[in-house]
Amino acid sequence: MNNRAWMPLHIADYLADTGHLTATEHGAYLLLIMHYWQNGCLPENERVISRIAKLSPEQWEESRDMLAMLFGPGWTHKRIDAELSKADEIIEKRRAAAEARYSKGKKDTSDANAKHMQSKCSDTGALPLTYNQSSSLRSEDARASEFEEFWQVYPNKVGEPAARAAFSKAIARASLDEIMIGVRAYVDKTDDRQWCNPVKWLSEDRWKDQPAKPPDKQQTPSKPNGGFSHLQTPQTREEYLRSELERAARSFR
């Protein structure tokens, strides 16, 4: 399979050479020269040539000589051969240029890596740290795991992609422990159910608030009923009977 995707067609020259052809012969000739361009020649068998031209046996017998006048011996074509030589030359030059650029780029990369590895830190004399892709991937996995831990606890699960980005910035300002202590304290609040948007909570470092859980409200003893105050304090049977007699005596005065 060649890579000649297009064929040059000089309109003025074509019309000058094919003015004697019929419409059917124009179509047949174009099919023949396109096949020639793609394959570099035409078959030796004229029966095959007629099939390439899409001509019936009767049409081929009628138009064969007119078409043959446009070709050389053995159905060769000098003009197409010359254009093929130019095209192959151009293709070869482009291929060589591409290979040269690739080789140069590969050599430059190799030289740069060699210089980088040979260079040493002026203070310690140690080789510089090189980028470790596997370490980067492990770091990303760890960051994702830390976010999942945070996301599982945070009560207002809205805008996860934005929250994930905000968490990546927040974890650079604080440790995971600090954030998790803050978020758990935030969840423990009993007097607030209007949960903050997670992006805002992370961006504003809300974990630093660490709100404490409010103390349980102490039940205040109910005031004793004045009419039954005598029942609030434990009494003996004798004390109870004496107080009832006194209350009855006051009622009849």
User: pLDDT higher for 244 or 167?
Assistant: 167
166 is a domain residue: yes
73 is a domain residue: yes
217 is a domain residue: no
Place of tokens 């293709």: 91
Looking at residue 121, its pLDDT comes to 46
User: For the segment 34-43, what is each residue's pLDDT rounded down to a tens digit?
Assistant: 999 999 999 9
Looking at residue 120, its pLDDT comes to 47
Same domain? For 27 and 61 the reply is yes
Per-residue pLDDT band at 144 (split at 50, 70, 90): confident
Model confidence at 51: pLDDT above 90: yes
Model confidence at 81: pLDDT above 60: yes
Same domain? For 113 and 19 the reply is yes
Q: Among candidates 48, 62, 54, which has minimal Cα distance to 29?
A: 54
User: pLDDT higher for 86 or 212?
Assistant: 86
Same domain? For 57 and 152 the reply is no
Same domain? For 121 and 181 the reply is no
Boundary of a domain, candidates 126, 151, 185 = 126
A 10 A CB-CB count for 73 gives: 6
Per-residue pLDDT band at 97 (split at 50, 70, 90): confident
Model confidence at 246: pLDDT above 90: no
Same domain? For 29 and 143 the reply is no
Looking at residue 112, its pLDDT comes to 62
Model confidence at 161: pLDDT above 70: yes
CA distance 129 to 210: 39
Model confidence at 189: pLDDT above 90: no
186 is a domain residue: yes
38 is a domain residue: yes
Per-residue pLDDT band at 150 (split at 50, 70, 90): confident
Boundary of a domain, candidates 192, 208, 224 = 208
Same domain? For 166 and 101 the reply is no
Same domain? For 204 and 152 the reply is yes
Model confidence at 75: pLDDT above 90: yes
The total domain count for the chain is 2
Same domain? For 48 and 73 the reply is yes
Q: Which residues contact 104 (CB under 8 A, 6 or more apart)?
A: none
Looking at residue 28, its pLDDT comes to 96
23-29 mean pLDDT: 96
Same domain? For 99 and 139 the reply is no
Same domain? For 119 and 188 the reply is no
- In the predicted model, what is the mean pLDDT of the chain? 78
- Answer yes or no: are the C-beta atoms of 174 and 207 closer than 8 Å: yes
**Residue 15 structural domain:** 1-126
| Angle value at C-alpha 220, between 219 and 224, nearest 5 degrees | 130
145-156 mean pLDDT: 85
Distances from the Cα of 128 to the Cαs of 111, 121, 132, 137, 166, in angstroms? Answer: 16, 6, 12, 20, 32
Distances from the Cα of 54 to the Cαs of 9, 18, 32, 35, 50, in angstroms? Answer: 21, 18, 9, 12, 6
Same domain? For 82 and 27 the reply is yes
252 is a domain residue: no
12-28 mean pLDDT: 95
Same domain? For 148 and 27 the reply is no
Model confidence at 98: pLDDT above 50: yes
